[in-house]
Amino acid sequence: MTAQPATPHAAAPGVRIRDLTVVYKTPAGELPAVRGVDLTLAPGTITGVVGESGSGKSTLALSLLNAVQPPGRIAAGSVEIDGLGDVLTLRGEDLRRARGREVGYVFQAAQNSLNPLKTIGKQLLDLGRSHDVEDLRALVRDARELLARMGMDGARVLDSYQHELSGGMRQRVGIMLALVLNAKVVVLDEPTTALDMITQATILRIIREVHEERALTTLVITHDVGAVAEVADDLAVMYGGRVVEHGPVTEVLGDARHPYTRGLIRAIPRLTGDLSLARALPGRPPTLGTLPAQGCVFRERCERRMDICETDDPAAVTHDGRTVACHATGRPLELVGREELV
């Protein structure tokens, strides 16, 4: 098979994650880093996942490629990708072929996702050979075009070693490698962490543009709400291994329904607006060890804690295309919030 030039209007696949649970083996037993997550990525959209450190974002992303590393293990659930089926049932060569060709992955620390001893070009050829690309020349040409698309001198970059590139350039190379085989589903794990503002803006712009040109289904994972808000169509908010809120980005940001989402938005430093309205979320983010075994994962920091939160894990309820997992949703929350702020 040869690499085909981007065909803008090929149908983007949809991705459906159902009841996904991923556990890590720790001295204290197997603890869930991702628990019962349902998430649907609509074809051709960019879905952003935000959450603080340790909320299970990377684990979720890796699950999409059935690539959770030991001591982690996917304990339950399915990840259906159109045209591929349930990724979690793929094994061996099938799985390998799916990775890279069907699902592109841009690594959390893309700076370090390149082999330091080989030039980018050689790594590109390795990629091509691994996926039985017959016309390697065409592959190189595609890669060069993609790089040029992202504002770089493709020929020079392909001749470079990883250490000869800056962080932003490496990140773009990572994106190129994820796309060059025409993957239609792309997962980007923290694509802009550790980049400075201007570079971050550039990368985000590139993501958006490439996404649209190639008609992809994209998952962008980040802890930076701002970054997601800039590119994503949909936003999923993760907390303690659960997706606590999911919906179109403007709606989720403009009218957050989950107390965590609200707290998070309030905690983001802003360029304009009333400083006094901003405040940090009390308490501290959970880790695997401190996650409560039962009840709502957020209750310790929640301003709207109720008795039921201690015992019952709130189910995710979808309404108007918006999903929220909170016992307090639908109850008059305005009042309680105001009370605290006085």
Ligand X SMILES: Nc1ncnc2c1ncn2[C@@H]1O[C@H](COP(=O)(O)OP(=O)(O)OP(=O)(O)O)[C@@H](O)[C@H]1O
The per-type count for the chain, helices as H runs and strands as E runs, is 12, 12
Binders of ligand X in range 270-289 (CB under 6 A): 287-288
For residues 217 and 15, is the Cβ–Cβ distance under 8 A? yes
Contact map string, positions 12 to 31, toward ligand X, x by CB under 6 A: ------------x-x-----
For residues 20 and 33, is the Cβ–Cβ distance under 8 A? no
Cβ distance to another protein smaller for residue 9 or 255: 255
| Smallest separation (angstroms) from ligand X to the CB of 26 | 6
DSSP 80-145: EETTTEEGGG--HHHHHHHHHHTEEEE-TTGGGSS-TTSBHHHHHHHHHHHTT-S-HHHHHHHHHH
Cβ distance to ligand X smaller for residue 63 or 123: 63
Q: Does 32 bind ligand X (CB under 6 A)?
A: no
| Smallest separation (angstroms) from Mg ion to the CB of 189 | 6
Please, which residues have CB within 8 angstroms of residue 97's CB and are 6 or more apart in sequence? Answer: 131
Residue 271 DSSP class: S
Q: Does 53 bind ligand X (CB under 6 A)?
A: yes
- Phi and psi (nearest 5°) for 327? -70, -30
Cβ distance to another protein smaller for residue 19 or 126: 126
Coil, strand or helix at 50: strand
Please, which residues have CB within 8 angstroms of residue 112's CB and are 6 or more apart in sequence? Answer: none
Q: Which does 56 bind (CB under 5 to 8 A by kind): Mg ion, another protein, ligand X, none?
A: ligand X
Angle between helices 136-149 and 197-214 in degrees, nearest 10: 130
Q: Which does 59 bind (CB under 5 to 8 A by kind): Mg ion, another protein, ligand X, none?
A: ligand X
Q: How many residues bind ligand X (CB under 6 A)?
A: 16
Please, which residues have CB within 8 angstroms of residue 42's CB and are 6 or more apart in sequence? Answer: 14, 217, 233, 234
Residues in the chain: 342
Angle between helices 167-179 and 120-130 in degrees, nearest 10: 20
Q: Which of 51, 174, 191, 259 binds ligand X (CB under 6 A)?
A: 51
C-alpha count within 13 angstroms, C-beta hemisphere, residue 231: 32
Q: Does 57 bind ligand X (CB under 6 A)?
A: yes
Binders of ligand X in range 195-234 (CB under 6 A): 223
| Smallest separation (angstroms) from another protein to the CB of 174 | 8
Q: Which does 271 bind (CB under 5 to 8 A by kind): ligand X, another protein, Mg ion, none?
A: another protein
Neighbours of 78 (CB within 10 A): 15
| Smallest separation (angstroms) from another protein to the CB of 158 | 13
| Smallest separation (angstroms) from another protein to the CB of 78 | 20
Select from 57-65, 89-97, 147-155, 164-172 the region that touches ligand X (CB under 6 A).
57-65
Q: Which helix (H) or strand (E) holds 244?
A: strand 242-248
| Smallest separation (angstroms) from another protein to the CB of 40 | 20
Binders of ligand X in range 86-115 (CB under 6 A): none
Neighbours of 172 (CB within 10 A): 27
Q: Which does 292 bind (CB under 5 to 8 A by kind): ligand X, Mg ion, another protein, none?
A: none
Select from 47-55, 226-234, 244-252, 262-270 the region that touches ligand X (CB under 6 A).
47-55
Q: Which does 293 bind (CB under 5 to 8 A by kind): ligand X, Mg ion, another protein, none?
A: none
Residues forming contacts to ligand X in the complex (CB under 6 A) are 24, 26, 33, 51, 53-59, 71-72, 223, 287-288
Residues forming contacts to Mg ion in the complex (CB under 5 A) are 58
